[in-house]
Structure 1
Amino acid sequence: MYRFLLTPRWWGINVFVLLAIPFCIFMGSWQLSRFEARVQDHRAAGEQAAAARTEAARPLARLLPVSTETSGKQATATGRYGKQLLVPGRELDGERGFYVLTLLRIDGGKALPVVRGWLPGNADPAKAPAAPTGEVTVTGALQASESPGSNGVTAAGGLPAGQTGAISSASLVNLVPYEVYDAWITLAKADSGMRAVPATAPQGTGLDLKAFQNLGYTGEWFVFAGFVVFMWFRLLRREAEFARDAELGLVPDHDEEEATVTEATAEAEATIEAEATTEATDQTGAAGAADAPQDAGNIPVR
């Protein structure tokens, strides 16, 4: 009754199943490994941030450029405060407010953005205390330039004069008349009654949407493997019933039966191919963030 398994059509079906199941399992395991790697990065970033708070501060030049290893480290720099800006729409402990950002001119040349603290309410220059005069030495957690979508950063423009939406060299270079470091620090102790802004983990080292997207893909690939097995069993049963009916003289239209088998096989192939294409597109779209580990993340580290 199962001699039909030796026909060319069923050879093709069986080869497809034998290739599709290992492929789905491999892709599911790969996505699971990516999720586990992100979990490990998240844990390592938390441990690094905790250790950084107790480490001795090092000169800024020794920690640049900012990377996943140096982000959050205590840096020290000496210079004179220059232009002051406000960064609106920033939350701290669930309360909405703004950062007070002042450019520190180092050796009278390049400027380092320094977040001197956070204040509640709408961004108002009258609320922001003036920066200390004369030469100062600051100490705080080193951070990478922000990018839209991280830590509440918005790409919206149209802000009033004296405000910036992101703390990044690309944004600040248009607002100040001097060169800006591609980094910034947040003071360990805020100035003049403001609240200190905690450092954040580097982008791509937390349990963000991309991490859970990897976990979702893991489940999908394993479901597809089960779907292939189910469809193979379903086709096998239908073909066996057809063979049994043929032996009893109750033979349906064989062309219709063959069309059903072919359609089911094509559906399984198309489903797996479409998922692989979608996943490849998502991974390509995330490549930019992976290549820029210096961007600030969106996971606050207290």
Structure 2
Amino acid sequence: MYRFLLTPRWLAAAALTVAASVVMVFLGNWQLHRYHERSAINARIDAADSATAVPLTSVLVKPDTPGKVGAMPGKDKAWTKVTVTGHYDVTHEIQARGRTVDGNVGFEIVTPLVLADGTAVLVDRGWVPPQTGDATSAPVSSAPPTGEVTVVGQIHLTESRPSGISTRDGRIDTRRVSLPHLADQIPYPLYGAYVLVTDPAAGYSAIPIDHEDAWQNGGYAVQWWLFAVMALLAYGWQARKEAHGERPVKEKVDRVQAADARLTAVPSTRQPE
């Protein structure tokens, strides 16, 4: 009954179905990997609230070249709570424009913190609104404390898609905190990640840390696996229809019309009375 499955047409259909199903399974596995990856990030974000801060130097590799960025940490180091001691260098302060907090557009103020060994780490001290209602107008922010300070914050990986760098009101002005592109503006060996202050000073708003949408990836994984199963079931369903002669309606109509045409073409053998 199923010998037709060995015909070239059905063998090609079987190969295509299996190949498509394998690809869908791999896509589902990749989405599952992204689900676990994003879930781990969310777990680190949640755990950081109650975690004990560890020294910055125990998480990041010490840089050794002035004006250059040291080794960048992996994603598993993101949002680790750290503590670091040094003094702020306001002469190389950075204002990152176009940053949104609670639906309001403003600036993040990022200041180099110089450690005792001469290296530096950028510290995001928080968000401030623009000076006027215009989101592009310069912000007004209080200066950081002078002298030696100890900062507690979370590791923030460098941002991608760097933007142009300029100077405004004595500050470095940019759109994104991209360390490789900012490094040549900082005259110190710069650590490969920056620190997001968890408890900003008065006048600054804390930068919210958004959770990753891990469940979206989990849903996509299940979806791809279901597509793989459906492709195999569709092939089996078509094969069963073929085996049991369940042709499409048009094919049946064509057969009936052909039979009628043959009957009308046969001459009558009955003699007239």
Would you say same fold, with TM above 0.5? yes
8 Å Cα contact 1:77-1:139 kept in structure 2 = yes
Aligned length: 238
Unaligned runs of 5+ in 1: 149-154, 252-302
Give the superposition deviation at 1:94: 1.8
Which residue matches 2:155? Answer: 142
Match of 2:45 in 1: 49
State yes or no: 1:24 paired with 2:20: yes
Q: Report how far residue 224 of structure 1 moved.
A: 5.8
Cα gap change, 1:229 to 1:4, in 2 (>3 Å): closer
* Whole-angstrom distance in 1 between the partners of 2:120 and 2:104: 30
Deviations 1:244-297 (A, max 9, x none): 68x95979xxxxxxxxxxxxxxxxxxxxxxxxxxxxxxxxxxxxxxxxxxxxxx
1:209–1:85 CA distance, 2 compared to 1 (3 A) = farther
Give me the whole-angstrom Cα distance separating, in 1, the residues matched to 2:194 and 2:140. 22
Aligned-pair CA distance for 1:97: 1.2
Tell me the equivalent position of 1:275.
none
Cα offset for 1:89? 0.6
Structure 2 CA distance for aligned equivalents of residues 74 and 3 of structure 1: 65
Structure 2 CA distance for partners of 1:28 and 1:3, relative to 1, 3 Å: closer
Letter in 2 for 1:70: K
In 1: Cα distance, 2:204 partner to 2:50 partner? 22
Indicate the residue corresponding to 1:79 in structure 2: 86
Pick closer, same or farther for the CA change 1:169–1:3 going to 2, 3 Å: closer
Is residue 138–residue 187 contact of structure 1 (8 Å, CA) maintained in 2? yes
Please tell me whether Structure 1 or Structure 2 has the larger radius of gyration of its CA atoms: 2
Post-superposition offset of 1:32: 2.1
Q: Give 1:195's aligned residue.
A: 205
> Displacement, 1:16?
1.3
Letter in 2 for 1:62: S
Distance in 2 separating the partners of 1:165 and 1:211:
33
For 1:3 and 1:165, locate their aligned partners in 2 and report how far apart those are by CA, in whole Å: 65
Match of 1:59 among 55, 62, 70: 55
Q: 1:179 to 1:164 in 2, by over 3 A?
A: farther
2:178 to 156, 159, 168: 168
Q: 1:134 to 1:124 in 2, by over 3 A?
A: farther
In 2, Cα distance between equivalents of 1:216 and 1:191:
46
1:142 is paired with a residue of what secondary structure?
strand
**DSSP 3-state at the match of 2:174:** coil
Which TM-score applies when normalising by structure 1?
Answer: 0.64
Give the alignment of 1:175-214 within 5 angstroms: 175-199=185-209, 206-207=213-214
For residue 66 of structure 1, what is the amino acid of its counterpart? P
Structure 1 equivalent of residue 143 of structure 2:
130
In structure 2, what is the Cα distance between the partners aligned to 1:120 and 1:219?
Answer: 48
SS at match of 2:98: strand
Deviations 1:123-142 (A, max 9, x none): 65550211211111111011
Q: Does the aligned pair in 1 maintain the 2:94–2:110 contact within 8 Å?
A: yes
- TM (norm. structure 2) is 0.70
Query: In structure 1, what is the equivalent of residue 4 of structure 2?
Result: 5
On the 8 A contact 1:66/1:143 being kept in 2, the answer is no
When the two chains are superposed, the root-mean-square deviation of aligned CA atoms in Å is: 3.8
